[in-house]
A = this chain, B = another copy of it.
Amino acid sequence: MFGAIEAGGTKFVCGVGTGPQDLVTTQIPTTTPDATVAAAVDWIRQQSAGRLTAVGIGSFGPVDLNTGYITSTPKAAWRNYDLAGRVEKGLGVPVGFDTDVNAAILGEARWGAARGVSNCLYLTIGTGIGGGAIVGGQVVHGLAHPEMGHIRIPHDAAEDPYAGICPFHGDCLEGLASGPAIEGRWGARAWDLPPDHAAWVLETRYLALGIANFVCTLSPERILIGGGVMRQSQLYQTVTGEVGRILAGYVSKRPEIGPPQLGELAGVIGALALAGRMHESG
């Protein structure tokens, strides 16, 4: 039996089970680090009743994958916090640790919309923009973890004078196309704007420019896009069309683009997959 934690900035989603079919979950509000981890550990310990073999954590970031620490987050109390270490001490089992988006693509690859595909990409378009990729069956890590939301794309300031909301880069992909960027530009939340609002022409363009760059770099077979902004589900079709126009026939095979299948539970199910990998690797 495995434990799973999707560690988010506003809530921790915790789970215990062997797969999506028997997964039991709960939500814990994110408060101070020690109190939040203690609550998560207590719940997992009770639910698993001594039968726990490993825990997986998919965490908000940035994180240091070597040490299991959350690093330079704007949430001051969580900065340089030993999340993986605290959970490991609390539960006494090995911990598999990765970013929330890497956990999500791992879960989708094992149990969701990316089954049977060795090269795939998960993007979340919400409070921020993040991406996790699998290449040749392996989650992409490197010097650190990818920060796909922070790529630079063309931004025509005459067409869209909004300067972008990223505190580091201004008009990177996240700065132009995240939920807060939409709200900052139009003065309304993404889900309150009607589907025929001009916001979605611009959003389609920016998301498609980002995705075209990921296609040219990673050549994924399938791309799953989740996150709050994608509740505007017309975007799946408009973005798919625009990616085709941007690639302009140069890349002859284009990946399928669609929603993830595990929905709200993608993160915690991905953390469960991390726990499973941890267990298998000894």
| Chain A interfacial positions (CB closer than 8 Å to B) | 62, 71-72, 118-119, 131, 133, 135-136, 138, 140-155, 168-169, 209, 212-214, 216-221, 246-255
Contact assessment for B146 and A135 in the assembled complex, using a CB-CB cutoff below 8 Å: no
Contact assessment for B151 and A216 in the assembled complex, using a CB-CB cutoff below 8 Å: yes
Give the number of times this chain occurs in the complex, counting copies. 2
Interface of A is mostly: loop
- Contacting residues, chain B, for A220 (C-beta < 8 A): 142-143
Contact assessment for A135 and B142 in the assembled complex, using a CB-CB cutoff below 8 Å: yes
Contact assessment for B152 and A212 in the assembled complex, using a CB-CB cutoff below 8 Å: yes
Which residue, of A214, A251, A254, has the highest number of chain B Cβ atoms within 10 A?
A251
Question: Provided the pairs A119-B141, A143-B255 are in contact, do residues A250 and B169 lie with their beta carbons within 8 angstroms?
Answer: yes
Taking the closest CB of chain B, its distance from the CB of A135, in whole angstroms, is 5
User: What CA separation (Å) do A249 and B168 show in the bound complex?
Assistant: 8
Question: Provided the pairs A72-B252, A119-B142 are in contact, do residues A213 and B219 lie with their beta carbons within 8 angstroms?
Answer: no
User: What CA separation (Å) do A62 and B247 show in the bound complex?
Assistant: 14
Contact assessment for A251 and B144 in the assembled complex, using a CB-CB cutoff below 8 Å: yes
